[in-house]
Each structure stands twice: as structure tokens, then as C-alpha cells.
A = this chain, B = another copy of it.
Amino acid sequence: MEHSAALVPATLPYYVAFSQLLGLTVVAVTGAWLGLYRGGIAWESALQFNVHPLCMVIGMIFLQGDALLVYRVFRKEAKRTTKVLHGLLHVVAFIIALVGLVAVFDYHKKKGYADLYSLHSWCGILVFVLYFVQWLVGFSFFLFPGASFSLRSRYRPQHIFFGATIFLLSVGTALLGLKEALLFKLGTKYSMFEPEGLLVNVLGLLLICFGVVVLYILAQADWKRPSQAEEQALSMDFKTLTEGDSPSPQ
């Protein structure tokens, strides 16, 4: 019984389900905001700007967050399958975010607006470049068949730390973007508790909740993916020793 509990921790599925509920709610509320207060979404029109927040929330928040959770959710699959899924989810997230970036630069160009003057845009470019570099370095170390076992072991904690950091920076950048969109449109009306202001504030809190729940799932030491036989033999811990369990392939 303790053995099976070690394979799928009892409360993990509930936290994962909650994270997905939050993530989908974030995407839905973003869509609702753009539909209700910003005229909806289209590429070839003044609505092109609205492609930006929706794509960034889907790519850089929801899918990036889910890519981080892959190792907690898929616990029995082969390590390589899980790795490929993790890498692929990041590729899809990256492409969707790229569409969102092209949308805002193209919109600015058509309107004659300046680019890259705001804190939101500085953070956004920084995060996007870091995200791309992290993917490239991760790919070279973990999927490309060159890196040695010891090199991978030394890079792994750095990859995890910077992955979580880039995800949190994405959430922070989204909050700055929401604030910018509100203040440019509402101005001092923001202080009159306009419905759009309240909705976007709620969206901001939901984004924070999604970020915190994903981070919480990642931070639980007991919820980490169990090592596989060959790795477990190398990293067998004290608990296993004291309990007299031999490391099993599962």
C-alpha cells in the first residue's frame, strides 16, 4: 500500500485537476474579456491587437504551465516519452506565443505606435528570449543524444529552476499587460469600479492562482517522478535503505 502511494501520491490528482480548472478558467475569462469589452478577435482589422493577450495567455501561461507539470502527471510512462511530450508542449506554447507577438508588432506598425517602450514589453521580450534559450539548451542536454549522464545530472537542477522562473516571469508579464490594457482604455475611470476593471482584476488574481498552484505541485518533494531502475540504483536514498526496500523497476 505504501508502495502504490509512492507511485501516485494520494492528493496529487486533485491538485492537478484544480490547476487545469484554473488554467482553463484563465483562458475562458481572457476570451470573455476580449469578447465583451474589446470587440472580439480578428487578424485583419483593429481587433488584431486582441490576438496578443489571448495567444500569450494560452501559450506562455496555460501550455507552458502544463509542460512543467508533465513529469508529475505522467509517472509510469517511459522517461523518454515524457521528455518528448514536455519538449513538444513547449514547442506548441512557443509557436502560439509567437503568433501573439507578431500580432502586436504588426498592429503597432499599422497604427504607427512605438514598440518596446513599456516595462511590460521589456519583460515580455526578456521572457520570450529566455524561454527560447531554455528550450534550446534543454533540448541539447536532454534529448540530443550527446550529453553524458553526469552532465545531465549537473544541469538538471538549473533547468528546473530557470524553467519555473521563466514561467513565473510569464505570469508577472501578463499581469503588467493587463494593467496596461486597463489603464490605457479606462484611465481615471478605472477608479470608478467599472465592470471591465473588476473583470480584469479577477483575471489577474486567477493568473496568480494558476501560477501558485503549478509552483506548489512542482515544489512538493514527494510528488517528484520516481526515478527509474537504472537511475534509482545511483540515487537510492536513505529512506529506501532504512525501510529495507530494494529499489524496484517501478
Please list the residues of chain A having a beta carbon within 8 angstroms of any beta carbon in chain B: 113-114, 117-120, 122-123, 126, 157, 161, 165, 168-169, 171-172, 175-176, 178-180, 182-184, 187, 190-193, 197, 200-201, 204-205, 208, 212, 215-216, 219-221, 236-238, 241
Contact = CB atoms under 8 A, between A and B. Distances in A.
B221 A157 contact: yes
B208 A169 contact: yes
Q: How many identical subunits does the complex contain?
A: 2
6 contacts: A119-B179, A122-B201, A123-B204, A161-B216, A169-B208, A176-B179
A114 B193 contact: yes
B114 A191 contact: yes
Given A176-B176, A179-B176, A208 B118 contact: no
A122 B191 contact: no
Point out which of A169, A200, A201 has the most chain B C-beta atoms below 10 A from its C-beta.
A201
A178 B238 contact: no
A59 to B, nearest CB: 20
A117 B193 contact: yes
Contact of A183 (B114, B180, B237): B180
A100 to B, nearest CB: 20
B238 A182 contact: no
Contact of A119 (B126, B182, B193, B219): B182
Contacts of A179: 118-120, 176, 179-180, 183
Given A114-B192, A184-B183, A238-B237, A119 B169 contact: no
Nearest to A219: B161
Nearest to A236: B238
Nearest to A108: B191
A19 to B, nearest CB: 15
Contact of A204 (B119, B165, B182, B219): B119
A3 to B, nearest CB: 19
Contacts of A168: 168
| Shortest beta-carbon contacts, A-B, top 7 | A183-B183, A114-B191, A119-B204, A119-B201, A238-B238, A172-B172, A117-B191
Given A168-B168, A175-B176, 4 more contacts: A114-B193, A161-B216, A165-B215, A238-B241
Contacts of A236: 238
Given A175-B172, A208-B123, A118 B238 contact: no
B197 A117 contact: yes
